[in-house]
């Protein structure tokens, strides 16, 4: 009997431990995915354990370093990275962005537009059929340990991306000729990349894909060193001294769970950045707020802290220090065609007209954003404001459409909420439900934990949800193909769009070589999907706000509004 009691008590203790872990989990994740529920850059997750507790370097109390003049800045993130190996993550881009280089880079122009510029590439040309990219690399580029960067490294990078068993980045090499054969094991090499000499190579695609150049400008396609990565083996991306890139910074230390330190790479081929050292610390929201106000942080990401606090403190006390960038992302509402009565375009159209998006933007996001009436967010390649006005808030017309469709008395449906999303998302959905009630539609908000929510959405059965999509690379294909590019994609995004002809057109649009023709096709597709078929309820795009500290002269946020910053774009006073 006594033994039983012990067993029972032990189990109770363990379950207590577990339940407190679960509760803490819900609370924590509620704070971090702000304000868009599920964009890539925000959802960096979870902390790794600390491997050593050595040096007290980079401590957040700010007493021991970063006094002006030494070129060091302090940055806070809400959770530690998991790996520095870009092929094994789709979240952690801070190291790939700052320690490695891509062939091309995206430049954010002062008018908010973006352009693709050459980075590691000296010169390039694309064949008339859009299939062959002939690339000349810059001469004399070396990795931070002195190893030269050559065409072989480019080939190696894409082969590794495609063949690593747990690669999360295969999409970025999938359009290259021979990718399929390499992935299924029938080929040993990636036939689409031909190395001519150390600085010359050609990349051949299996079919034309105009977004390819934009893909070559994202951190997903940073160039790794063949010899260094092969030599490092499993330590690549795990040990700082084995994770060597050609970018402006090197990783000088990574204390698991508490943060990392980057330092200037003296062998960097580009201009010397103003910031020589970056201390990146993992903090929770309230710590960030305290540390920034105390001067121990140099850049504060407003998305990581309470939005009420941003409004009450930062927009007043620090009004002159706020830096904002338009997020190349769009918040949208999905209505699942498979779920009645959403199979009727009139009903979907009625929902489009019933939501007062301006009121939502003003009340929840303090007006820090812009209404979007299409699929591609403002700032996206080929974006045109010709779509403005497609959606008008008009409850009366909405009611009329509903009765035309035979739902004069409205209907019931469910909006699924990811409980891990930021409070603002929850509030937006509340207002949407209220708006819909005004036209007689009864929307029930049902909350799921993040994993269950993803599961339901991926299965194609989720009736309706609101989320945001932030661009990975600046091409309309990145958003439209994700949602409407294939039957699988329509299922995994739970829209179940049924018009197969249009789905085929979306897939085919990737391959249009002539820019004018391509632009026209994307505009036509947007019109078809949003205005005619109403399968997508565009909401708005938001601004991403940062506050810079006293020592920071200026900085350029990520062009798409990701939370990760290119530190070479920061200048100190």
Which residues ranging from 296 to 325 are in contact with other proteins (CB under 8 A)?
Answer: 296
447 is a site residue for other proteins (CB under 8 A): no
Which residue, 267 or 492, is less far from other proteins as judged by CB?
Answer: 492
> Considering only 138-146, 285-293, 392-400, 557-565, which stretch makes contact with other proteins by CB under 8 A?
285-293
**Binder among 327, 450, 510, 544 for other proteins (CB under 8 A):** 450
Q: Is 345 in the site for other proteins (CB under 8 A)?
A: no
Closest to other proteins by CB, 212 vs 453, is 453
Instruction: Determine the 3-state secondary structure of 195 from DSSP.
Output: strand
List the structure tokens of 367: 């007006």
Sign for the CA dihedral angle at 62, 64, 69, 75 comes to negative
- Tokens of residue 359, six digits: 């009121």
d(CA 207, CA 215): 15
* Alpha carbon distance 399, 347 (integer Å): 10
Q: Which of residues 138-167 bind other proteins (CB under 8 A)?
A: 165-166
**Please, are residues 329 and 560 in contact by the beta-carbon 8 Å criterion?**
yes
The 3-state DSSP class for residue 522 equals helix
92, 169 Cβ separation under 8 angstroms: no
Tell me if 74 contacts other proteins by CB under 8 A: no
209 to 248, contacts with other proteins by CB under 8 A? 238
Nearer to other proteins, 220 or 387 (CB): 220
DSSP E strands in 231-301: the ranges are 249-255, 259-264, 277-282, 299-301
Contact predicate 334/570, CB 8 Å: no
Nearest to 479 by CA among 465, 487, 489: 489
DSSP per residue over 354-409, as a string?
Answer: H--HHHHHHHHHTT-EEE--SSSPTTSTT--GGGTTSS---HHHHHHHHHHTT-TT
CA distance 233 to 92: 20
Query: Which residues within the stretch 517-546 sit at the binding site for other proteins (CB under 8 A)?
Result: none
User: Binding to other proteins by residue 344, rule CB under 8 A?
Assistant: no
Select from 2, 247, 282, 218 the least CA-distant residue to 101. 247
Stretch that binds other proteins, among 1-9, 107-115, 315-323, 406-414 (CB under 8 A): 1-9
Q: Are 415 and 432 in contact (CB under 8 A)?
A: yes
CB of 386 to other proteins, least distance (A): 28
By CB under 8 A, name the one of 209, 241, 283, 385 that touches other proteins: 283
Please report how close the Cβ of residue 514 comes to other proteins at its closest, in angstroms: 27
Residues in 467-496 that interact with other proteins by CB under 8 A: 467, 469, 472, 482, 488-489, 491-492
Least distance in angstroms from the C-beta of 13 to other proteins: 5
Give residues with Cβ within 8 angstroms of 563, minimum separation 6. Answer: 41, 42, 44, 77, 301, 303, 304, 544
Sole binder of other proteins in the list 187, 290, 408, 508 (CB under 8 A):
290
Residue with tokens 């996001």: 365
Q: Which of 1, 3, 319, 501 binds other proteins (CB under 8 A)?
A: 3
Which span sits near other proteins by CB under 8 A: 35-43, 115-123, 146-154, 560-568?
A: 35-43
Binding to other proteins (CB under 8 A) within 243-272 occurs at: 255-258
Residue selected from 11, 68, 386, 524 as contacting other proteins according to rule CB under 8 A: 11
H-helix or E-strand spanning residue 9? helix 2-32
State which of residues 136, 163, 293, 427 lies at the interface with other proteins (CB under 8 A).
293
Stretch binding other proteins (CB under 8 A), from 59-67, 127-135, 522-530, 565-573: 59-67
40 binds other proteins (CB under 8 A): yes
CB of residue 61 vs other proteins: minimum separation in angstroms?
4
Residue with tokens 């909405």, as numbered in its chain: 398
Please tell me whether residue 43 binds other proteins under the rule CB under 8 A: yes
Among 34, 45, 277, 381, binds other proteins (CB under 8 A): 45
* Cβ distance to other proteins smaller for residue 371 or 492: 492
Nearest-approach distance from CB 79 to other proteins, in angstroms? 8
Q: Can you name the residues that pair with 123 across neighbouring β-strands?
A: 136
Interface residue with other proteins among 115, 230, 458, 571 (CB under 8 A) is 458
Contact 98/263 with Cβ under 8 angstroms?
Answer: no
Q: Does 47 bind other proteins (CB under 8 A)?
A: yes
Complex with other proteins: residue 284 or 423, whichever CB lies closer = 284
Give the pairing of strands 412-418 and 259-264: unpaired
The minimum distance between CB 22 and other proteins, in angstroms, equals 6
Q: Does 281 bind other proteins (CB under 8 A)?
A: yes
From candidates 1, 53, 320, 501, binder to other proteins by CB under 8 A: 53
Q: Which is nearer to other proteins, 31 or 366 (CB)?
A: 31
Residue 1 binds to other proteins (criterion: CB under 8 A): no
**CA 181 → CA 132, 184, 188, 196, 209, distances in Å?**
19, 5, 8, 22, 19
Instruction: State both tokens at 323.
Output: 């830096």
Nearest to 38 by CA among 468, 478, 564: 468
Q: What angle do CA 16, 283, 20 make, to 5 degrees?
A: 5
Asked whether 337 and 495 are in contact (CB, 8 A), the reply is yes
- Number of amino acids touching other proteins (CB under 8 A): 81
Strands 329-335, 277-282: parallel, antiparallel or unpaired by DSSP? unpaired
Per CB under 8 A, contacts with other proteins among 76-115 are: 79, 82-83, 88, 90-91
Copy the structure tokens of residue 451. 């994993």
Choice between 13 and 359, CB closer to other proteins: 13
Min. distance of Cβ 352 from other proteins in angstroms? Answer: 23
Candidates 275, 282, 380, 417: give the one binding other proteins (CB under 8 A): 282
Per CB under 8 A, 58 contacts other proteins: yes
Restricted to residues 167-196, the positions that interact with other proteins (CB under 8 A) are 168, 170-171
């Amino acid at each position: 009997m006594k033994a039983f009691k012990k067993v029972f008590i032990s189990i109770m203790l363990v379950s207590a431990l577990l339940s407190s872990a679960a509760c803490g989990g819900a609370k924590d994740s509620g704070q971090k995915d702000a304000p868009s529920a599920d964009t890539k850059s925000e959802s960096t997750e979870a902390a790794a354990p600390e491997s050593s507790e050595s040096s007290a370097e980079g401590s957040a109390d700010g007493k021991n370093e970063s006094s002006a003049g030494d070129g060091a800045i302090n940055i806070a993130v809400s959770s530690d990275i998991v790996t520095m190996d870009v092929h094994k993550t789709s979240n952690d881009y801070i190291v790939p962005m700052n320690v490695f280089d891509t062939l091309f880079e995206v430049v954010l122009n002062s008018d908010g537009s973006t352009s693709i510029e050459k980075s590691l590439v000296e010169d390039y040309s694309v064949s008339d059929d859009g299939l062959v990219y002939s690339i000349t690399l810059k001469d004399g580029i070396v990795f931070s340990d002195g190893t030269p960067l050559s065409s072989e490294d480019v080939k190696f990078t894409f082969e590794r991306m495609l063949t690593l068993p747990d690669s999360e980045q295969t999409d970025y090499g999938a359009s290259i000729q021979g990718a399929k054969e390499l992935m299924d094991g029938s080929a040993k090499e990636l036939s689409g990349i031909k190395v001519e000499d150390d600085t010359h190579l050609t990349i051949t695609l299996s079919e034309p894909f105009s977004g390819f150049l934009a893909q070559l400008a994202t951190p997903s396609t940073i160039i790794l060193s063949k010899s260094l990565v092969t030599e490092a083996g499993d330590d690549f991306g795990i040990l700082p001294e084995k994770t060597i890139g050609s970018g402006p910074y090197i990783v000088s230390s990574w204390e698991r769970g508490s943060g990392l330190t980057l330092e200037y790479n003296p062998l960097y081929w580009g201009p010397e950045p103003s910031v020589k050292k970056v201390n990146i610390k993992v903090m929770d929201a309230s710590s960030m707020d305290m540390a920034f106000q105390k001067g121990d942080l140099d850049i504060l990401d407003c998305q990581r802290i309470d939005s009420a606090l941003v409004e009450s403190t930062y927009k007043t006390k620090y009004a002159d220090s706020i830096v904002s960038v338009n997020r190349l992302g769009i918040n949208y509402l999905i209505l699942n065609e498979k779920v009645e009565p959403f199979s009727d375009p009139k009903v979907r159209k009625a929902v489009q007209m019933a939501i007062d998006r301006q009121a939502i933007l003003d009340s929840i996001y303090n007006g820090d954003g812009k209404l979007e009436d299409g699929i591609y967010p403002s700032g996206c390649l080929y974006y045109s404001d010709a779509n403005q006005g497609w959606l008008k808030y008009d409850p009366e017309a909405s009611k009329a459409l509903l009765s035309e469709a035979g739902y004069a008395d409205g209907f019931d449906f469910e909006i699924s909420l990811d409980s891990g999303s930021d409070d603002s998302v929850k509030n937006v959905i509340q207002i949407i439900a209220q708006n819909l009630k005004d036209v007689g539609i009864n929307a029930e908000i049902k909350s799921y934990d993040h994993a269950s929510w993803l599961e339901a959405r991926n299965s194609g059965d989720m009736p309706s949800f609101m989320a945001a999509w932030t661009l990975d690379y600046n091409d309309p294909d990145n958003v439209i193909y994700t949602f409407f590019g294939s039957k699988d994609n329509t299922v995994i995004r739970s829209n179940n769009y049924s018009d197969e002809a249009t789905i085929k057109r979306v897939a085919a649009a990737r391959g249009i070589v002539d820019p004018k023709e391509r632009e026209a096709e994307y505009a036509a597709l947007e019109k078809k999907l949003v205005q005619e078929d109403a399968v997508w309820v565009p909401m708005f795009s938001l601004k991403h706000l940062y506050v810079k500290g006293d020592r920071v002269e200026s900085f350029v946020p990520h062009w798409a509004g990701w939370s990760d910053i290119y530190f070479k774009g920061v200048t100190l006073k």
